[in-house]
Amino acid sequence: MKFPLKFACVFPGQGSQSLGMMKGYADFPVVRETFAEASDILGQDFWALVNEGPADKLNLTINTQPLMLMAGIAVFRAWESLGDAKPVFMAGHSLGEYTALVASEALLLADALPLVCFRAEAMQQAVPEGIGGMAAILGLDDEVVRAVCNEVTDSSSGELLEPANFNSPGQIVVAGHKNAVLRGMELAKSRGAKRVLMLPVSVPSHCSLMSRAADKMRQQLEDVTLKSPKIPLLHNADVQQHDNPVAIKEILVQQLCRPVRWTETIRAFAAAGISHVMECGPGKVLSGLNKHVDRNLQSLALPDGAALQDAASILMQGGESPTPVARVYPG
């Protein structure tokens, strides 16, 4: 198949998982084969986990992160099985950045899976459960949320609150000490936020509280082989393309402590002449966010094999995709 349109692939992170999320790909043997490969690497039956649960085990960070990696790669391989069409750019939301690196052939799946397991453990160990938290703030400008975080952060007590995800205009996730998150939620409401929502996560991702995890990741990455991506990708922490493996490793370290700049990433795609953004993985979370960033970009979610076939037809014919529904996404 030949695709005349310029498209990008994006990969979801933690928060897009659900029980049975791969059942819609039964007609693509490469999906089951990818799960078998990944399960052999990690010594755990992830196909059974994703189809049978239990849900609480599926949602454990230590399981969710490798699961979303293998799911994203399985869907990308299913896409590749349809033809030779390659995206001109890639990106991944938080954990999804590792999926993008595998898809761009900068990182082997056999190396990526243990690495994201290590990442999950390091993040969980960095802050004891119950100490940190994350909340979504809807309906405020970026600068207002930054001001809320600055006002809540207390140098005397050491408690901090920082922006963690700039998901789309009007949807920002903040992270920090739980008490600071709660104070920030109240202050955001007083500043005109349409809605504030504490997120059900145990790890305050993408803030300074992850510094210990970042230090561990820096050491772990020293022994990991990385190559220059064959497909350029934009990184969360700086919205830049990096070809040097040393620079890629450093930006992966920084990613843990710095916000996910998703709004800027999607705008950069649009500025580069991308017409369609395809979400390679289960669910439609990123597609919903992307539509709120730039309505001129066509968002293609691939929650099942039928949607994948539809995406191929849309890209061949230059058609439009349906409008997805946005939801809060911690990544």
Catalytic residues: 94, 206
Give the residue among 285, 290, 324, 305 at the shortest CA–CA distance from 89: 290
Give the C-alpha distances (Å, rounded to integers) separating 137 from 25, 158, 178, 189.
Answer: 34, 23, 15, 9
Orientation of helix 109-126 relative to helix 211-221, angle to 10°: 150
At 157, the amino acid letter reads S
Q: How does DSSP assign 13-27, residue by residue?
A: -TT---TTTTGGGTT
For 48, counting Cβ atoms within 10 Å of its Cβ (0-12 exposed, 13-18 middle, 19+ buried), the class is exposed
140 contacts: CB under 8 Å, gap ≥ 6: 148, 170, 172, 188, 191, 192, 193
What are residue 11's DSSP bridge partners?
92
127 contacts: CB under 8 Å, gap ≥ 6: 203, 204, 209, 210
| Alpha carbons 33 and 39: distance in angstroms, whole number | 10
Tokens read off for 173: 């996730």
CB neighbour burial string for 222-257, b if at least 16 within 10 angstroms, e if fewer: eebebeebebbbbbbbebebbeebeebbebbbbbbb
Give the residue among 218, 222, 286, 224 at the shortest CA–CA distance from 252: 218
What φ, ψ does residue 166 adopt, rounded to 5°? -95, 85
| Alpha carbons 231 and 104: distance in angstroms, whole number | 5
